[in-house]
Structures are given as structure tokens and as C-alpha cells.
């Protein structure tokens, strides 16, 4: 504890002793950077934002900054790569999370997937980049991450001050309550926090974008964000917190039977590592020529490349974890192989998928920001998701790592 001492009460002897002591440090200044909360609504397209379905977010958008047509995700436009891009500022080819399912020559016999918990918490998959919570913790700022991909691993040997193991069954409101508890930490609130909602993406996959189920899930998340605002107000923080609300990608409708069986004409010569809107294939030793001939020829509704020949605009293909052959489906189609097609029950209704060309309008992702650091009424017309990282670093007041993005103009005051 520091004390202010009145000179008139100090004896000459005490003054002499103090003369040899260094001056007392001034009291700490108030934190110049407000709490910043990064909120991800998985699979939330910008056109889901409406005054009817999402009145809370619509109000926030009117008060702060908005990308009316959304921001471009990175390729492939899927969950884990883009969530890691948002918090590292590096595209998947650089940050190392090149797909939801991937293999690494340096980690033989292991397949990373969202369902492989041992891999998800293994820092070796994440250490190619440094997420913002690690950077902030190293620079003395406390952080809290609610279910953000990567936050369960000790990346670079560092964990957030607060984090939670992913539990999909936890309701949207309960996730907010955990975050509010972390803000109430007697040792002090975090400087940076994240919050993750997955129900909009789940509904989009099952029922397709624009469905009643997607609208209902968007409304539930909107209510949870309203619950967060109420919690901040109860803590005297109304208008004092930066909220950056984003999505990792959009969603496209996939009609029934729009499936491409990539190896239908010659099964057994390639091995599919991942399928969907974006496919990744390994070549079978001894069958390389047949495998390339099978995939690289012209296809209806699908284009494939050797990893070294992927178009430069996709910024993809240099990382060792990218498979030998990468295929991109036409929007509205789904890549499979003969084995998966035989086991998969044919859909009888339109569903949803993502992972397509990141420039496709259907893949655009929500971006809005509001708070004391944000210029009211700002509108962003051209934004990549790598631009979120420098914005967050500036809001938090940390020295960010070099990345692929730039500070979006006109958003900060």
C-alpha cells in the first residue's frame, strides 16, 4: 500500500533518512484500454442480421461499425482454420490449422480432427502461430476464452487465465454466465475475452441457410448477447466494453443429391483426408500417376489442383499439412468418396455447407463492432478476416505479432 505523507508532520531526522531513498512510484494510472470481448457466432451470414430476428445485434450495428456485406473468410472457409486466423492474423497456410481434419508429416500416425480431443489439446498442432490471448498474457494482460478453438492447448506453453473445455450441450445463456463470472474475478477482470456460439452453424448444416431453424438459432444467440449486455450494465460497465462480433464463415444451400464422388471412376488410388465443400486427398504410393489423372482432369462442379498449383489468391498450399491434391466444389455441391457415399444416408432435403471459395458471397461472415474504442456509424466495405487481429490488438493495447492483415480504416476512434 502506498501512503501520501504530509511534510509538516515529518521530523528532520526522518527527512534525512528519506533523502537517501528513491522517490516513491506514482500510483498506477487507470487502464487506458477497456475490456474487449470477441464474440464468434459460427456460420452467421451477414444477411441473418435483421431487426426482426436479431434486434439486439441490429441495435449494436446501428451504434457502431458494420461490414454490411460481411467480411471475407480465409480459405478453406471452415471452422477451425478461420477461428485461428481471427486470433492470429495469419491465414491458415501460415498459422498451421489448414483444415478441420489434417495430417502432418512431422506427426506420423496422428490425424487432427475436431473429434480427436487428444489432438485438439496438443500444442504441437497450434504452435506455428501465436493467438492473441497468449500474446496478451505474455505482456501482462489477463485473458479469458469461452470455447474458442485452440484455447484448451498450452500454446507456446501459455494458457489463458480462464478457459473452459468445449461442451456443446452448454446453452448460449450459460456460456455468457461463465464469462460474467470471469469478469467478476476478485483478482481483477480480463483485458481480453472470447465467447463462442455454435448453434447457428449447426442449424445451417442440418436445415440450410434461411430456414426457420436458422432464424430461431440466430434469435437465441441474439438473446444471449442481450443477456451479456444486461450483465455488463449490472456491473457498471454499460458502454464501457468493446464488443467485436464476428463469424468464421457463411453458409450455402446444398440441394439433395448434389454430391460429387471424387473417386467413382477409379477407387483405391487416392485417400481422402477431408471432404465437403473443400476436399483434400493424399496420393497412394505407387499409384501417384493414376491418382493425379483421376483428380486433375476436368470435373463437373469440382476443380482440383496439386498443392503447389493452387491459385495464389487463395493463399494456400505451402504448409506441409496441406494434402497433395486439393479440390474445391462449386457452391452448392459436396465432395465425397465412394466409401463415404456408400455409408452416407442420402439427403431428402436441402442442407447447408461451407468451405467453398472464400470470395463466394455465400461464404461472407458477419463483422460488427461497438464500444468506447469504435467510431459510431462506421461502415466497412472491403475487409478480410485477417484484419480483425490488428483491430483487437489496438483495442487491447498489446504489441501484436506480424500478420497478413491491416487495421480496417475508419473503425477506431
CATH of the domain at 96: 3.40.720.10
272 Cβ contact list (under 8 Å, min separation 6): 262, 263, 279, 280, 281, 336, 337, 340
Same domain, residue pair 238 and 263: no
Residue 30 included in any domain: no
Q: Provide the 8-state DSSP code for 90.
A: S
Same domain, residue pair 168 and 289: no
Same domain, residue pair 228 and 281: no
Same domain, residue pair 49 and 65: yes
According to the model, what pLDDT value does residue 105 have?
96
325 Cβ contact list (under 8 Å, min separation 6): 270, 280, 281, 282, 283, 291, 292, 295, 296, 304, 305, 306, 307
Same domain, residue pair 372 and 295: no
Same domain, residue pair 98 and 162: yes
Strands (E), 8-110: 36-41, 65-66, 102-103
Q: Domain of 67?
A: 36-251+358-396
Report the domain count for the chain.
Answer: 2
Q: Provide the 8-state DSSP code for 56.
A: H
Residue 21 included in any domain: no
Q: What gap in Å lies between CA 308 and CA 298, rounded to an integer?
A: 18
Same domain, residue pair 375 and 316: no
C-alpha distance across the termini of the chain, in Å: 36
pLDDT in tens, 173-186: 999 999 999 999 99
Residue 2 included in any domain: no
Residue 194 included in any domain: yes
According to the model, what pLDDT value does residue 341 have?
83
Residue 204 included in any domain: yes
Please identify which residue in the block is written with the cell numbers 475508419.
410
Q: What's the CATH number where 294 sits?
A: 3.30.1360.180
According to the model, what pLDDT value does residue 347 have?
76
Same domain, residue pair 59 and 130: yes
Identify the bridge partners of residue 162 per DSSP, sorted by sequence position.
Answer: 144
Q: What gap in Å lies between CA 42 and CA 57, rounded to an integer?
A: 15
Same domain, residue pair 129 and 268: no
Same domain, residue pair 227 and 103: yes
According to the model, what pLDDT value does residue 348 have?
83
Residue 129's Cβ-count burial label (10 Å; 0-12, 13-18, 19+) is buried
pLDDT in tens, 85-130: 999 999 999 999 999 999 999 999 999 999 999 999 999 999 999 9
Same domain, residue pair 60 and 204: yes
Residue 286 included in any domain: yes
Question: Which CB contacts under 8 angstroms, 24+ apart, belong to 299-307?
Answer: 299/260, 299/262, 300/260, 301/258, 301/260, 301/329, 301/330, 301/333, 302/260, 302/262, 302/327, 302/328, 302/329, 302/330, 302/333, 302/335, 303/327, 303/328, 304/262, 304/279, 304/328
According to the model, what pLDDT value does residue 6 have?
35
Catalytic residues: 79
Residue 337 included in any domain: yes
In 28-171, alpha helices (H): 55-63, 79-88, 92-95, 117-120, 132-138
Domain end marker among 346, 371, 404: 346
According to the model, what pLDDT value does residue 17 have?
38
Q: What gap in Å lies between CA 95 and CA 88, rounded to an integer?
A: 7
Cell numbers standing for residue 178: 461463465
Residue 31 included in any domain: no
Q: What gap in Å lies between CA 20 and CA 228, rounded to an integer?
A: 52
Q: Which residues of the chain have pLDDT under 70?
A: 1-31
Amino acid at each position: 500500500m502506498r501512503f501520501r505523507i504530509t511534510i509538516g508532520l515529518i521530523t528532520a531526522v526522518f527527512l534525512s533518512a528519506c533523502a537517501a531513498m528513491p522517490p516513491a512510484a506514482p500510483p498506477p494510472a487507470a487502464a487506458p484500454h477497456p475490456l474487449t470481448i470477441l464474440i464468434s457466432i459460427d456460420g452467421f451470414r451477414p444477411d441473418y442480421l435483421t431487426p426482426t430476428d436479431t434486434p439486439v445485434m441490429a441495435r449494436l450495428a446501428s451504434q457502431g461499425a458494420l461490414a454490411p456485406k460481411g467480411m471475407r473468410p480465409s480459405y478453406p472457409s471452415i471452422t477451425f482454420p478461420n477461428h485461428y486466423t481471427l486470433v492470429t492474423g495469419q491465414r491458415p497456410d501460415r498459422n498451421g490449422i489448414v483444415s478441420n481434419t489434417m495430417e502432418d508429416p512431422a506427426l506420423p500416425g496422428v490425424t487432427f480432427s475436431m473429434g480427436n480431443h487428444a489432438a485438439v489439446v496438443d500444442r504441437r498442432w497450434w504452435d506455428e502461430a501465436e493467438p492473441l490471448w497468449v500474446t496478451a498474457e505474455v505482456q501482462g494482460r489477463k485473458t479469458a476464452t469461452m470455447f474458442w478453438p485452440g484455447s484448451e492447448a498450452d500454446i507456446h506453453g501459455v494458457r489463458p487465465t480462464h478457459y473452459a473445455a468445449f461442451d456443446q450441450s452448454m446453452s448460449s445463456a450459460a456460456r455468457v454466465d461463465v464469462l460474467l463470472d470471469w469478469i467478476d474475478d476478485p483478482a481483477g477482470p480480463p483485458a481480453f475475452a472470447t465467447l463462442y456460439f455454435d448453434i447457428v452453424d449447426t442449424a445451417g448444416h442440418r436445415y440450410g441457410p434461411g430456414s426457420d431453424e436458422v432464424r430461431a438459432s440466430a434469435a437465441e444467440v441474439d438473446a444471449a448477447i442481450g443477456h451479456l449486455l444486461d450483465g455488463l450494465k449490472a456491473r457498471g460497465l454499460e458502454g464501457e466494453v468493446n464488443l467485436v462480433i464476428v463469424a468464421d464463415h457463411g453458409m450455402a444451400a446444398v440441394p439433395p443429391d448434389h454430391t460429387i464422388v471424387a473417386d467413382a471412376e477409379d477407387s483405391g488410388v487416392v485417400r481422402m483426408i477431408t471432404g465437403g465443400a473443400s476436399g483434400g486427398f493424399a496420393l497412394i504410393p505407387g499409384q501417384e500417376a493414376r491418382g493425379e489423372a483421376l483428380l486433375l482432369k476436368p470435373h463437373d462442379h469440382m476443380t482440383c489442383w496439386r498443392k503447389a498449383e493452387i491459385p495464389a489468391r487463395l493463399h494456400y498450399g505451402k504448409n506441409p499439412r496441406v494434402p497433395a491434391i486439393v479440390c474445391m466444389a462449386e457452391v452448392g455441391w459436396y465432395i465425397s468418396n465412394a466409401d463415404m457415399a456408400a455409408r452416407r444416408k442420402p439427403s431428402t432435403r436441402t442442407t447447408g455447407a461451407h468451405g467453398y471459395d472464400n470470395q463466394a458471397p455465400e461464404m461472407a461472415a458477419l463483422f460488427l463492432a461497438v464500444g468506447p474504442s469504435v467510431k459510431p456509424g462506421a461502415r466497412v466495405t472491403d475487409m478480410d478476416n485477417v484484419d480483425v487481429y490488428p483491430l483487437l490488438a489496438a483495442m487491447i493495447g498489446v504489441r501484436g505479432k506480424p500478420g497478413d492483415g491491416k487495421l480496417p480504416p475508419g473503425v477506431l476512434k
